[in-house]
Structure 1
């Protein structure tokens, strides 16, 4: 799959079907290699003699001076280390300064591994070329490359920290070393997944100068909001499995005084990279935060390596859940959970990644006897007006020793913290083996304003162990619901409690049973798109006007099981038959209503050859299939705003959807618009009305076009990349370009 945002073509990126995007630069020949991971092919760079070997892109790619760019690739060689570089060029191809090289990888490896670098295009640069480099010991030594990216730096969505802080691809200036520490960059040989683009080339290395604690903190201090829970994480590679390595989220007030610090300590399973998380609620008075990483009781010269540092608003384990991330996922400990009765013990699982469903840890409950024990979470506030409403408790469990029965309860409290009692279903046997997701529905008492999850666990054999993860409690809402908008003519389909990694297919179904696939951000939701959130909102701008429809949702689990949901019926009202909609399926913000003066008189052309045979009355006609509809739609715009909006809609020249009111003898049709004319209706020069002639040609429904925008991208993501909003305006031509992240050339 092509790397999102890549300036390179798919062939230049993946070397499939061949490597025509690359050429020899120094001391080599280029061949088509096998064993690729982003497609079957790779680029084989074979040395002609001993010494440095270089290959480069044929194309010079446009860049903007002062803007940061990133390049990376996957490489493989059993005998050579490698580096990758960006050669800055003028518009005519003359070099601007020296090549920006990555550090060479620390070791050679025949396993595919990541190499990359990032930097700011210098003054005078308007083009860039990628250069691949290695040093051969002799002739006929092959080095393999593929999965190459060039473009804007790839950042974690929602990260409050800049790209320079998230990963040291540029330098280490975004981090400051604590006492007993030096900070540097390294390029260890790391085999990341082919589609993991956020880590893997340069990493931050903390080196202890002596015995004791070694640490570093971010220079940036992003703004936070008191009362909001934040999640921080980073990949940590400890020097030994016995090292005490950690990540810490710190909050500060307006004068820079530290108000709190919450630490997540790594329980490493190896000396490789482990993602460690920590979460905390910003305390009263907090205005900023910082991220710290470190290791305690280090010996001189020990190193902790760090990659992909992120601080973001903590996601809910389940949409609408009242439990904070720390209490739902157990990434930094047991949080507010306590044992209220019984002999069982509770602790965070260990080591990292051994038993976990969400993140890398879970809650481990161990009972030495066949007795009941009760564990309870802290109390959490419910949404206003929750009294008397239904709530759903859900958690996941796996039995790692013995057996258990469990009672899934919720204890309710009023505003004065008075215990209103426990609601529970009947006890049931905890299923196994493997992870199971269990739930129970509860009704909140009328006065309830707070709740705590309470589980009664009874071991059925001595020394039983059960692990619990992904605990959530939320107001139970319909799994599937629909709503519609008259003003924007779309149906909103809301899907709740989805399972991550399921493949989703969504059909729009009309009363006659006709099914049409619905469009998502990356194209039609045709069963190849994976679910990435338990809550999914789909705005269907291509739903027909004034026509009842419902939605059939098909969810296929990774194991192959199929779940089907059907929504209720929805109808987009459309009162004025003189108005029609022109819609851009890829950019619904451009959609607009227009007044129709005259519908097209359709023609359907056909390619034919007519042959007159001597002595025969009738000709011999060879005909191709008849083409689609062609005709001219005449419409009016009634204001300067409508006139500007129509130009905006037509300017990109994309396929449009024309929708007229039912009963007008025109089905919804996808069209390409030819050369348009805009004429004054008549009267004085100040007349606002305009008459437009739009030549239409029927085309097929676009299948690979997604609804435009950057999924998950926030205003904070945008501002984090720039020094100010003025810099944002300088980088983008319009706010639509900001939405689509289309920067000026």
Structure 2
């Protein structure tokens, strides 16, 4: 995959399939090598012709703007001599104005390592080239390898408040100052960075300790911050030894420039590589600017500490991205990069510590929380407090990994009001962690009660054997729409079901379930919802056939698109439609719910009969007949209803117009059972009752099976729905054949 923003062509960048993007500039011959790091195998071989510096350059020139900062980097390898990289600036006649060179790598290395340079296009510069150089081999036939080459605008850490030069020191070290007991320079150690990591590598800020003791450097830049917001500060730190105490520190300053808060985060280095160490804090009251300090505690004289990729930023959803953070848990309490945060053991014997060393145990970033229990007992862990909004859904959870022994756990939230008084505690069901040593995310949706202002997380961890160890990382509390919602609407006699976080394209089956366990498929736009492919990760349907006065819930089964097996079960909370008066009856069109109407019944429980076909055979000389019967039919009878207004009369007439089967519901208190029926001949516009002014209708009913067709539209479809679904009236015209189709949301085939 090409490096984003690269001026160089893919062939010039990756040396695949050949070396056509490169030519010799000084004392060199070029050829195609193998063993490259990018998707192809190729790499550039630059071979010395004789003793002395060797240079290769890009064939093409790339436009630049005077005064703009540019960056060039490459991955290099060579066992004999070190190397450097440069940007050659050219004028309008393609004549060289100057070359901006990187420092020379500190040593030769046959392993791939990063070289990089930054430069400002000088006056008169029109184009630029990349120059690759191996430094003064003692003879001819000395080989250097290059690949993964970039020229373009600086590759920056997202949302970094520091300048590019403070971040990566590719121009010079002028953005940094010695704070105590050190000297500053830039050096290029031989570090191998990931092939697709573009934000570090090349020259590193190098602090040399002057005398034994503590030493530190400070970024001279002071970017603006907002009090009350959470910030991160980090850098890649290369310690002199694995026993070194090196650190990053986030500092805040007031309007007078005085430091008012500092938060330090210490590295637990496993070796002497480069390790990102993150400090985080909320900007205190009075904070106007911030900066970052980097240093070492208890150093020996002449020890060297290097730094690269330095960032100060407002917290985002992940350490290096630009997405807005939605996690209410502070970074220190969520990621454990600088300790255990505000977490403490409320009860039980669990001991808490930050994992060690760097990178040894982490779901994200570099550390996690280590929980150890010496006995097979339960312990309760509680966090700090975080601001929440009452009356909305929150998702709480974390990543857990069983390291030793056995564990079961629950995740919960303690809700507090404005006076810090506990309102209630909500808790998930218990879960047992597998013993395979993998990370598992366990989460639960919980609603904040009325009056909740802050929340405290509570994890109940039960060790099932002595000497059990558990890792916790990436703790979160997010306001989120729930995975499932059910809402009863008594005005339309329907239950609204929304399911979220599904797998688009997977088949879904949706059941309505009553308390006695009876299941019925729910009707959707394509018929009964039985293995219907999902068109998105959210599913919405209105159930107009849910019983009145009876609690129901919905169960979804989502199947694998490859195996056909059920891979996800989703059960909603319960919802209940109001039973209503025993004198009122719902007459519904299951296929077109816009026609549904609720009317007063003449008799809440009319007399119904069940006919049967029978043949009567009289046997000569016998008293009793021989009767041959068929299967007893469903009920038939008459339902009397009143229309009390002109709107009700028109509504009933519209319901009966298409001759569809209807669904009849009444309060369970009336003794009526839900019934699908065909309506026979009905007198047209019966005369009103002379006393009440009401129209009385007699509907002859014959029970039928439940229809299987799809449901068109919604009983509460509005003009706003049409506006949202269609950008222009032209779209409406192209999508629907008639206004009736607009009402039913019944688009043309393929519309």
Does the alignment reach a TM-score above 0.5? yes
User: Quick check: 2:415–2:454 contact (8 Å CA) kept in 1?
Assistant: yes
**Pair 1:390 & 2:390 matched:** no
**1-side partners of 2:499 and 2:101: how far apart?**
47
> CA offset at residue 450 of structure 1?
1.2
> CA offset at residue 440 of structure 1?
2.3
> CA offset at residue 562 of structure 1?
9.3
Match of 1:341 in 2: 347
Match of 2:234 in 1: 233
**Pair 1:85 & 2:89 matched:** no
Which has the higher mean CA deviation after the structures are superposed, 309-318 or 215-224?
A: 309-318
**Pair 1:472 & 2:476 matched:** yes
Match of 1:653 in 2: none
User: Quick check: 2:69–2:121 contact (8 Å CA) kept in 1?
Assistant: yes
User: Quick check: 1:209–1:301 contact (8 Å CA) kept in 2?
Assistant: yes
Match of 1:2 in 2: 2
Q: How does 1:570-581 map to 2 (within 5 A)?
A: 573-574=725-726, 577=729
Q: Deviation digits for residues 460-519 of structure 1, max 9, x if unmatched?
A: 2222111111111223415599xxxxxxxxxxxx99879xxxx99999xx999999999x
Q: How many residues align?
A: 527
Does the C-alpha gap of structure 1 residues 75 and 563 become closer, same or farther in structure 2, counting only changes over 3 Å?
farther
Match of 1:28 in 2: 28
Q: How does 1:290-369 map to 2 (within 5 A)?
A: 290-316=291-317, 320-369=326-375
**2-side partners of 1:562 and 1:143: how far apart?**
53
User: Quick check: 1:30–1:45 contact (8 Å CA) kept in 2?
Assistant: yes
Match of 2:121 in 1: 121
Could you list the runs of 5+ residues in structure 2 that have no partner in the other structure?
319-323, 486-497, 508-524, 539-557, 571-710, 714-720, 738-751
> CA offset at residue 315 of structure 1?
2.2
**2-side partners of 1:575 and 1:399: how far apart?**
52
Match of 2:409 in 1: 406
User: Quick check: 1:371–1:458 contact (8 Å CA) kept in 2?
Assistant: yes
**2-side partners of 1:29 and 1:10: how far apart?**
22
Q: How does 1:397-436 map to 2 (within 5 A)?
A: 397-433=400-436, 434-436=438-440
Match of 2:171 in 1: 170
Match of 1:101 in 2: 101
Secondary structure of residue in 2 paired with 1:178: strand
**Pair 1:270 & 2:274 matched:** no
Structure 1 segments of 4+ aligned residues over 6 angstroms from their partners: 494-498, 503-507, 510-518, 553-556, 561-565, 568-571
Q: Pick from 373, 380, 390: which aligns with 1:374?
A: 380
> CA offset at residue 555 of structure 1?
12
**2-side partners of 1:427 and 1:663: how far apart?**
51
Q: CA RMSD in A?
A: 3.5
User: Quick check: 1:392–1:439 contact (8 Å CA) kept in 2?
Assistant: yes
> CA offset at residue 425 of structure 1?
3.3
Which has the higher mean CA deviation after the structures are superposed, 389-398 or 189-198?
A: 389-398
Higher relative contact order (CA 8 A, sep 6+): 1
Does the C-alpha gap of structure 1 residues 497 and 274 become closer, same or farther in structure 2, counting only changes over 3 Å?
farther
**2-side partners of 1:269 and 1:575: how far apart?**
58
Does the C-alpha gap of structure 1 residues 144 and 331 become closer, same or farther in structure 2, counting only changes over 3 Å?
same
> CA offset at residue 272 of structure 1?
0.6
Secondary structure of residue in 2 paired with 1:328: helix
> CA offset at residue 564 of structure 1?
12
**2-side partners of 1:145 and 1:31: how far apart?**
11
User: Quick check: 1:574–1:661 contact (8 Å CA) kept in 2?
Assistant: no
**2-side partners of 1:53 and 1:341: how far apart?**
68
**2-side partners of 1:93 and 1:235: how far apart?**
39
Does the C-alpha gap of structure 1 residues 574 and 460 become closer, same or farther in structure 2, counting only changes over 3 Å?
closer
**2-side partners of 1:480 and 1:390: how far apart?**
11
**2-side partners of 1:25 and 1:2: how far apart?**
25
> CA offset at residue 33 of structure 1?
1.1
**2-side partners of 1:442 and 1:574: how far apart?**
36
Q: Deviation digits for residues 524-560 of structure 1, max 9, x if unmatched?
A: xxxxxxxxxxx99xxxxxxxxxxxxxxxx9999xxxx
Secondary structure of residue in 2 paired with 1:200: coil
User: Quick check: 2:506–2:533 contact (8 Å CA) kept in 1?
Assistant: no
Q: How does 1:603-618 map to 2 (within 5 A)?
A: none
User: Quick check: 2:13–2:150 contact (8 Å CA) kept in 1?
Assistant: yes
> CA offset at residue 148 of structure 1?
0.8
**TM-score scaled by length of structure 2:** 0.65
Does the C-alpha gap of structure 1 residues 27 and 460 become closer, same or farther in structure 2, counting only changes over 3 Å?
same
Instruction: Kindly name which structure, 1 or 2, has the bigger radius of gyration based on alpha carbons.
Output: 2
Does the C-alpha gap of structure 1 residues 99 and 415 become closer, same or farther in structure 2, counting only changes over 3 Å?
same
> CA offset at residue 427 of structure 1?
3.3
Match of 2:65 in 1: 64
Match of 1:737 in 2: none
**1-side partners of 2:253 and 2:90: how far apart?**
44
Does the C-alpha gap of structure 1 residues 44 and 480 become closer, same or farther in structure 2, counting only changes over 3 Å?
farther
Does the C-alpha gap of structure 1 residues 412 and 564 become closer, same or farther in structure 2, counting only changes over 3 Å?
closer
**1-side partners of 2:9 and 2:34: how far apart?**
19
Does the C-alpha gap of structure 1 residues 308 and 495 become closer, same or farther in structure 2, counting only changes over 3 Å?
farther
User: Quick check: 2:373–2:468 contact (8 Å CA) kept in 1?
Assistant: yes
> CA offset at residue 444 of structure 1?
2.5
Q: How does 1:293-692 map to 2 (within 5 A)?
A: 293-316=294-317, 320-383=326-389, 386-387=390-391, 389-433=392-436, 434-478=438-482, 573-574=725-726, 577=729, 661-662=734-735
